Amino acid sequence: MLVTKQPVLRKFWYPAIPTTELSSSPKPFELLGEKIVIWLNAAGKPAAVQDRCCHRSAQLSIGKVVDGNICCAYHGWQFDSEGACVCVPQLKKDEVISASYKVQSYRCTERYGYVWVCLGEPLIDIPEIDEATKPDYRLLHEFYEPWKCAALRVMENEFDLAHPTFVHTTTFGSEEHPIPELMKLTETEWGLHVHGVLGVVNPELQQQNLKMEAKQTFRTLDMTWFMPFTVKLQITYPNGLTHIIINTMTPINDSTSQMVQFCVRNDTEADTKSSDVVAFDRAVTLEDKHILETTDYDVPLSVSQEQHMFTDKPGIVMRKKLAALLKAHGEVEQTKSNNC
Ligand code: FES
Ligand SMILES: [Fe+2]
C-alpha cells in the first residue's frame, strides 16, 4: 500500500510536531506527501496550512509569523489560520483582497504535548490515552525522528511477539522464550487489542528501572492498535509497575515515517530517573529500527504476498482491516506495481 495514494488515510489525525518545538517561527512538516507549515497564531493555538504561497508558490515556512499570521518571505502576503490572505502590502488602502487569495488550511490541535494534524474530515478522534492525564502517572517524551520504513511495518512489529528473541538481543529478548506464553486477540471497531504474556530477560539497567533483581521476568502486555498508525503498548511487570508506550508512525511519504513516541508510567522521578527509562527504550527502538529500515515500504495488504506464522495474526488483522477501510471508501489498494 502506498500511503500517499490512499485518500482515506488523510481522514485520520497524526502527531506532526512537539508543541515545545513551536515558537515564534513557523515549522515545515510533510504529512502523507503534503508539504505543510505549522505555527502558533495570535491566540497561541497551532495553525497548519499548505506550505506554498498562492502568489508565486514560495514556501511559507521560510517566512515569519506576524501578528499571529504566516507571512510569506517573498512579497510579504500574510495568511491567517484558516488560510485566508489578510494582508497584501502592495494593495492600496481602499483595495479589497480577493477571496481567491488563499491557501489550503488543515485541522490542527494539541494533545499529549504534540500538534496533531488531519488533512481531511476526520473519521475518528485522536486516540484516547486515559493514563496520560491521570495524576498518578507521569508522561515522558521519548523519540521524534524519521524512520525510513512504512508505518504499517512498525505497527505490525509492535504486536509481533516472535521478534524480541532475535531482534532485542541486547535488551529484553529471551532465547528461552521464542514464542509468547499467551496471545489473545480481540478486534475493535477501529483497531484491535492483544492481551499477551511474554518471558523476557531483565538486564541490569532494567533491574534498576523496575526495582526487580530477577534476571528473567514476564511482561504482561495489553496492546491496542488505533487505525491506522498508532499503538498503545501497556506493559505490566510482576511488581505492579505499569509502563505504557504510545507510538505513532506519522506517514511522511510512502517510504518514510516520523516516529513519535512517549511513555506514561505510574512511578516517579525519585523511583526511576526519566533519563534511564528513555535510555532503555532508546536501545530497544534502535534494535527495531535496524531491522525495519530493511523492509519493503510497499506493504501488501493481500495476505497471499508474504508468508505468515501464528504470531503474525495481529499484523494479518491490521492488513485485513485496512483493506476493508479502503474498500468502504471506494478505494483500490495502490502499490508500486499498479503505479509504475
Ligand atoms: S510568493 Fe508569496 S507573497 Fe509572493
Ligand atoms: Fe521490537
Give the pLDDT of residue 207. 80
Which residue ranges in the chain fall short of pLDDT 50?
none
pLDDT at 239: 80
pLDDT for residue 46: 96
- For residue 138, the model assigns a pLDDT of 94
Task: Tell me the CATH number for domain 130-326.
Answer: 3.90.380.10
Contact 229, 249 (CB under 8 A): yes
- Exposure string over 87-99, b if 16+ CB within 10 A, otherwise e: bbeeeeeeeeeee
pLDDT at 204: 81
Which residue CA neighbors atom 1 of ligand 1 most closely? Answer: 56
Helix (H, G, I), strand (E, B) or coil at 49: strand
Separation CA 5–CA 333 (nearest Å): 8
Q: What is the pLDDT of residue 328?
A: 98
Ligand 1 atom nearest to CA at 63: 2
Q: Are 226 and 127 in contact (CB under 8 A)?
A: yes
Distance from residue 23's CA to the centre of ligand 1 (Å): 23
Please give the CATH topology (third level) of the domain spanning 3-118.
Rieske Iron-sulfur Protein (2.102.10)
Question: Can you read off the three cell numbers belonging to residue 238?
Answer: 510482576
Nearest CA, atom 3, ligand 1: 75
Could you tell me the distance, in angstroms and rounded to a whole number, from the CA of residue 249 to the centre of ligand 2? 14
Same fold, 3-118 and 130-326: no
Give the mutation target among 72, 79, 101 for probing the ligand 1 site: most ligand atoms within 8 A of CB. 72
Domain map of the chain by residue range? 3-118, 130-326
Largest CA distance in the chain: 79
Nearest ligand 1 atom to alpha carbon 75: 3
Is the bond preceding 89 in cis, omega lying within 30 degrees of 0?
no
Of the residues 74, 79, 101, which should be mutated to test ligand 1's pocket, given the most ligand atoms within 8 Å of the CB?
74
Asked whether the beta carbons of 101 and 89 are under 8 A apart, the reply is: no
Tell me, what amino acid is at 132? A
Query: If you measure from the C-alpha of residue 101 to the centroid of ligand 2, how many angstroms do you get, rounded to a whole number?
Result: 48
Indicate which ligand has the atom closest to the C-alpha of 53.
1
Q: What is the pLDDT of residue 332?
A: 97
pLDDT score of 202: 85
At residue 225's C-alpha, the angle toward residues 220 and 231, to 5°, is 75
Lining residues, ligand 1, CB within 6 Å: 53, 55-56, 58, 72, 74-75, 77
pLDDT per residue over 196-229, tens digit each? 998 888 888 778 777 778 888 888 999 999 999 9
* Residue 60 alpha carbon, nearest atom of ligand 1: 2
Per-residue pLDDT tens for 72-100? 999 999 999 999 999 999 999 899 999 99
Q: Which atom of ligand 1 is nearest to the CA of 76?
A: 3
